[in-house]
Amino acid sequence: MTMPEKYSNKGPGHPGEFEIMVMLAILRLGPDAYGVTIREELEQETSRTITLGTIYKSLSRLEAKGYLHTRTSEPTAVRGGRRKKLYHVSVTGLRAVNRSLSDLWSLTRGLDLGWETS
Amino acid sequence: MNRRSRIPCSIRLLLRFLLPLSEREYFLGDLEESCALSRGPDRKASRGHGWLHEVAGSLVLRFGHRHHHKLQSDNQEGEGDGMFREFLNDLRFGIRTMRRSPGFATVAILTLALGIGATTAIFSVVNGVLLTSVPYPEPERIVRIRECNLTYGLPSFSVSPMNFSDWKTRSESFDFMTAYTTRRPAYTGGEYPENLLVYTVMEDFLELFGAELALGRGFTPAEFEPDNEQVAILRYGFWQRAFAGKPDVIGDSIILDSVVYTVIGVTDRNWQPINEVDLILPLRPEPRWASNRHEHWLTSIARLKPGITQEQAQSELSNIAATLESEYPDFNTGWDVRVSSLADNLIGGLRPQLLILLAAVGLLLLIACVNVANMMLARALVRGSEIAIRMAVGARRGRIIRQLLAESVLLSFFGAALGIGLAWLGIEIFRAGSSSVSSPP
């Protein structure tokens, strides 16, 4: 008996909670998503203190799973003459985010969690 | 372009060391930018975070980076993380190196195998003989009691039944005291007539040796009285051989020297008496014993009470022997008692020889190891250029050491495998050549 593709352990699997947050931050930032801006976006929206190392770990994993594409910018003085690595979410990444959020949404249906809809 | 960094030099160096090469530039650039815009660790220092936090984060990244390789290797080769894959590569390379120089590999493996094989074989024998030779509960409490008469030039002799009876009655040092002798009665119930080896034993024999029964029961006190029904307990092996392991053998008869014995029990498969006997029969007193203490033919074994030493037991029995000497001067003049541990008794004078042999093979293993180490050193000199090339193309010192260690592990593995085979062969040879060693003198 074969497992449905959705739940199979083969392939990159489901993104974790923090990985979803990182991908959502990248989607919100558009073309200017790199380490500094992603961290600021997450810290502002989630009230968490996040190190660059944590961000880069997730970015590295997401890239390895094929959820992110990257390109590099030109070096800038403010960065000590170093380049930026800019990220954008791939089609696979978009599908993964959609699937995970859809699953979460399905699970919350019928629950009264005290949310206030805007 | 402003190249002056806001990251402290020590932190920058530490991060350079910690960060994976693929992410180093972008990570340091981001950190620099955060500092320049006052959004980095120097701002957070006032809130209790700061550089330490970022260094800790870079550790997370480094760990995550290794995991990233794991993800890739899971999808590609399924061989685990980087370090394990490197070890497998080292082993493969080690095998190729061994195949390139079969002479070195063969001599090194044979040297190790001989050392390991000889040491393992001798240690197995010493372990079996010296350390675990008495397979009974609390063997240190089991002693053998013999008589001696230096006037007659008999430093160790069998025991007279009546003297044994008096020891048993008068001594207080022992939980159990028993005696036995061996017989070779004729058995004609099998496919062909044969002489069996049989223990005839006094009371407490099975209890003293902690013998468990697979079937039936032990002897009752009444069965040691004359004129009662003759009974026998079978050894497991004899039950299998003569009765084909018949489950309802209890109550069957067996004829030995024309006397009919009723089977009342079968010993447990794992119970091992001192001699390889087939049957155990009760020893019943005979009237002639009382009139003649000159007959010495029993082997006496006893189990010391907890807390009683061998020396205390010896002292008590010597006192009893002295009393018996005065009571029966015609028979007991000059007779004393010798108490010794059963283990020492079984091993006899073999202990020093075995220990010397163990030390000798230990040295042999040491010599084998030194020889192989020398050979590997000489070989390392020959491989100097190969190692230099590998370092020149980027191999780190640790990587080279790991590779050489992997080759040593391979040699040791093959040497040990062959050595275990040789040890097995050696033990079989010992076993074949020393089947009589376990019998008491």
pLDDT digits (tens, 9 = 90+) for B243-265: 988 899 999 999 998 889 999 99
pLDDT at position B422 is 92
Residues 6+ apart with CB under 8 A from B417: B113
**pLDDT grade for B434, boundaries at 50, 70 and 90:** low
Spatial separation of the C-alpha atoms in residues A70 and A93, rounded to whole Å: 13
pLDDT at position B286 is 84
Residue of B nearest to A35 (CA): B30
Residues 6+ apart with CB under 8 A from A108: none
* Average pLDDT over chain B, rounded to an integer: 83
**pLDDT grade for A116, boundaries at 50, 70 and 90:** low
**Three-state DSSP class for B179?**
strand
Contacts of B45 in chain A (CB under 8 A): none
Of B14-18, B38-42, B59-63, B376-380, minimum mean pLDDT range: B38-42
pLDDT at position A117 is 56
pLDDT at position B397 is 84
- The pLDDT tens digits of the residues spanning B126-177 come to 887 776 667 788 888 899 999 998 888 888 888 999 999 999 999 999 999 9
pLDDT at position B154 is 84
- Does the beta-carbon distance from A79 to B32 stay under 8 Å? yes
- Does the beta-carbon distance from B30 to A52 stay under 8 Å? yes
CA dihedral B377, B378, B384, B386 (to 10 degrees): -100
pLDDT at position B70 is 45
What are the boundaries of each domain within chain A? Answer: 14-102
CA angle B178, B181, B187 (to 5 degrees): 130
pLDDT at position B83 is 63
- Give the residue with greater pLDDT, B165 vs B74: B165
Q: Which of A9, A52, A62 has the highest number of chain B CBs within 10 A, making it the mutation to test binding with B?
A: A52
Beta strands B259-267 and B174-183: pairing type?
Answer: unpaired
Nearest to A80 among B32, B71, B72 (CB): B32
pLDDT at position B413 is 92
- Give the residue with greater pLDDT, B430 vs B267: B267
CA dihedral A51, A54, A56, A60 (to 10 degrees): 180
- Does the beta-carbon distance from A64 to B72 stay under 8 Å? yes
Spatial separation of the C-alpha atoms in residues A79 and B32, rounded to whole Å: 5
pLDDT at position B77 is 39
A100: exposed, middle or buried (Cβ count in 10 Å: 0-12, 13-18, 19+): middle
Q: Where are the alpha helices (DSSP H) in B127-269?
A: 161-170, 205-208, 236-243
| Contact call for residues B313 and B304 (beta carbons, < 8 A) | yes
Nearest to A36 among B33, B56, B59 (CB): B33
Q: Which of B6, B21, B24, B61 has the highest number of chain A CBs within 10 A, making it the mutation to test binding with A?
A: B61
**pLDDT grade for A118, boundaries at 50, 70 and 90:** very low
pLDDT at position A12 is 56
pLDDT at position B63 is 58
Tokens of B372: 């192989």
Q: Which stretches of chain A sit within 8 Å of chain B by CB? A: 11-12, 34-36, 39-40, 49, 51-54, 56-58, 60-61, 64-65, 72, 75-85
| Contact call for residues B64 and A57 (beta carbons, < 8 A) | yes
- Give the residue with greater pLDDT, A57 vs B56: A57
- Does the beta-carbon distance from A53 to B67 stay under 8 Å? no
Contacts 24+ apart (CB under 8 A), B31-37: B31/A52, B31/B7, B32/A78, B32/A79, B32/A80, B32/A82, B32/B5, B32/B6, B32/B7, B33/A36, B33/A76, B33/A78, B33/A79, B34/A36, B34/A39, B34/A52, B35/B6, B35/B7, B36/A78, B36/A79, B36/B6, B37/A36, B37/A78
Contacts 24+ apart (CB under 8 A), B412-418: B412/B112, B414/B105, B414/B109, B414/B112, B414/B113, B415/B108, B415/B109, B415/B110, B415/B111, B415/B112, B415/B113, B415/B115, B415/B116, B415/B372, B416/B112, B416/B113, B416/B116, B417/B113, B418/B109, B418/B110, B418/B112, B418/B113, B418/B117
- Give the residue with greater pLDDT, B50 vs B275: B275
pLDDT at position B317 is 93
Nearest to B29 among A51, A64, A83 (CB): A83
**Nearest C-alpha of chain A: how many angstroms from B370?**
48
- Does the beta-carbon distance from B26 to A77 stay under 8 Å? no
Beta strands B231-234 and B279-282: pairing type?
Answer: antiparallel
**Continuous segment of H or E residues that includes residue B267:** strand B259-267
Q: What is the DSSP letter of B223?
A: G
Q: Which CATH class is domain A14-102?
A: mainly alpha
In chain B, which among 68-97 make CB contacts under 8 A with chain A? Answer: 68, 71-72, 75
**pLDDT grade for B107, boundaries at 50, 70 and 90:** very high
Is it the case that residue B67 has pLDDT exceeding 50? no
Nearest to B29 among A53, A60, A79 (CB): A79
- The pLDDT tens digits of the residues spanning B330-387 come to 888 889 999 988 877 777 667 788 888 889 989 999 999 999 999 988 888 888 888 8
Q: Which of A47, A70, A79, A86 has the highest number of chain B CBs within 10 A, making it the mutation to test binding with B?
A: A79
Provide the terminal-to-terminal Cα distance of chain B, rounded to the nearest Å. Answer: 99
pLDDT at position B337 is 92
Tokens of B18: 């910690």
| Contact call for residues B179 and B202 (beta carbons, < 8 A) | yes
| Mean predicted confidence (pLDDT) in B72-93 | 60
What are the boundaries of each domain within chain B? Answer: 9-78, 91-131+350-433, 139-347
B37 part of contact set with chain A, CB < 8 Å? yes
- The Cβ of residue A26 has, within 10 Å, a number of other Cβ atoms equal to 26
Is it the case that residue A82 has pLDDT exceeding 50? yes
B15 part of contact set with chain A, CB < 8 Å? no
Beta strands B174-183 and B186-187: pairing type?
Answer: unpaired
Nearest to A35 among B1, B26, B67 (CB): B26
**pLDDT grade for B41, boundaries at 50, 70 and 90:** low
**pLDDT grade for B46, boundaries at 50, 70 and 90:** very low
**Three-state DSSP class for B350?**
helix
Give the amino acid at B93: F
Give the amino acid at A41: E
**pLDDT grade for B64, boundaries at 50, 70 and 90:** low
Contacts of B30 in chain A (CB under 8 A): 34-36, 39, 52, 79, 84
Q: Which residues are B267's β-sheet partners?
A: B213
Question: Strand (E) positions, B191-230?
Answer: 194-195, 198-201, 213-216
Is it the case that residue B388 has pLDDT exceeding 80? yes
